[in-house]
Amino acid sequence: MTKTSLQCRECKKEYESTFKYICDECFGPLDVKYEFPPITKNTFTNREHTYWRYFELLPIQNKSNIISINAGMTPLVKAEKLGEKLGLNNLYIKNDSVNPTFSFKDRPAGIAVSKAKEFGLSAVGCASTGNLASATAAHAAKGGFPCYVFAPSDIEHAKIAQALAYGSKFIAVDGTYDDANRIAAQIGDSKGIGIVNINLRSYYVEGSKTLAYEVAEQLDWQVPDHLVVPVGSGAMLNAICKGFEELQNVSLLGDVSKMHMIAAQPHGCAPIVDAFKLGSSDVIPVENPDTIAKSLAIGDPGDGRYVLKRLKQYNGFAEESNNREILDAILLLARTEGIFTEPAGGVSVAVLKKMIDDGKIDKNDTTICYVTGNGLKATEALMEVLPKPEVMQADVAKISAVVK
Ligand SMILES: Cc1ncc(COP(=O)(O)O)c(C=O)c1O
Ligand SMILES: [Zn+2]
């Protein structure tokens, strides 16, 4: 069993690993700290094809508390055709859109709901821009927990349907994600509900670091040169950095300090990109996000400051893409690699393209583009730009005339 504790990201004070997420001394966020057992590459061979293969590096103490819907170990696709179009020889898509609930959120949600079981909590929930809703709801269903979702009322239809189908109580808040988040925080604390991305956040973020572990293992334990990550709250980008650092600490990877982290945000909600471009270490919140990338519409990103630090630490960049560029990128990815992503993935691909055009990525660099959500969850914006198929009479002669 791996020994864990909680440590304040700011003042470094340590705490026992309990249901706690903020430092008593300085109100900084708490991170899980580990004393890892000896680990080798062979530790993970012949293990299950889910992120639970990295059990020793995760914060669950007892395997009986694992609530798994078999997420993770998603394909790392060598994107030959997209690479050719963009001018890269070593481009990889981490296709996390094929997780069980069709986004990367199955990773953090699975760890947090398992931890809720380990803590003996009786209900779970989340504040969501859409994808976390179904990821939390599905894990709650599997674990037998009631689940409360707090989300803006204007998120995509499919995401609401999906979360409801798993049996969650869906609270559609007439407001922004930040409004939903504030309400979830207050209700979670007053009613003792484990809100996966708020009062269980220290554990939740640990799930997303498996996006680093898998990429490293799939690259046969090589360190990539560039990583393009879509950013909302910033939790995932921060967790990916932590994941690579931990692999270096247990000697599974060489020097990770040469990696370049690239934060991708949508125009209309790009507070981290704005701060990066101003050279500021603080993020000014966007009050009313306006973008088709609704899953990234977090105006006041909880980990914004830490993303800016990570970009400095990892020779990084931050860039935005507008709605038109996002839609073009969705189609480019679909039509080259056969991968259909939602706007968040379009943001990654569009920003990747800008980085290449700006000469920030060399054609032989190993580049990972994280595609984190599935296109079927967000067809609304795309349907507005795609031609509607004309309904035709079921007549071979007439139809064969239009098949060239
Ligand atoms: C598909 C998708 N990608 C990326 C993100 C951004 O993750 P984070 O909020 O950890 O930055 C989200 C957040 O909801 C998402 O749903
Ligand atoms: Zn502290």
**302-322 residue pLDDT tens:** 999 999 999 999 999 999 999
Whether 104 maps to a domain, the answer reads yes
CA 17 to ligand 2 center in whole angstroms: 15
Whether 316 maps to a domain, the answer reads yes
Average pLDDT, integer, range 23-44: 96
Q: For the domain that residue 103 is a member of, what is the CATH number?
A: 3.40.50.1100
**199-231 residue pLDDT tens:** 999 999 999 999 999 999 999 999 999 999 999
User: What token pair was written down for 105?
Assistant: 């959120």
* Residue 361 backbone class (left: φ over 0; alpha: ψ -120 to 50; beta: rest): beta
Decide whether any atom of ligand 1 lies within 6 Å of the 230 Cβ.
yes
**277-304 residue pLDDT tens:** 999 999 999 999 999 999 999 999 999 9
User: How many domains are contained in the chain?
Assistant: 1
Whether 155 maps to a domain, the answer reads yes
Decide whether any atom of ligand 1 lies within 6 Å of the 295 Cβ.
yes
pLDDT at 359: 97
pLDDT at 170 over 90: yes
CA 124 to ligand 1 center in whole angstroms: 19
Q: Could you list the residue range(s) of the whole structural domain that residue 267 is in?
A: 70-404
Whether 59 maps to a domain, the answer reads no
pLDDT at 175: 97
**72-89 residue pLDDT tens:** 999 999 999 999 999 999
CA 234 – CA 100 distance, rounded (Å): 23
Whether 29 maps to a domain, the answer reads no
Ligand 1 atom with least separation from CA of 128? 14
Average per-residue pLDDT for the chain: 97
Show Cβ contacts of residue 280 under 8 Å, excluding neighbours closer than 6 positions. Answer: 308
Whether 2 maps to a domain, the answer reads no
CA 172 – CA 161 distance, rounded (Å): 12
pLDDT at 404: 86
Whether 390 maps to a domain, the answer reads yes
Question: Which residue has the least CA distance to atom 3 on ligand 1?
Answer: 372
Whether 51 maps to a domain, the answer reads no
For the CA of 300, the nearest ligand: 1
Show Cβ contacts of residue 135 under 8 Å, excluding neighbours closer than 6 positions. Answer: 99, 101, 103, 105, 106, 108, 109, 110
CA 380 – CA 330 distance, rounded (Å): 13
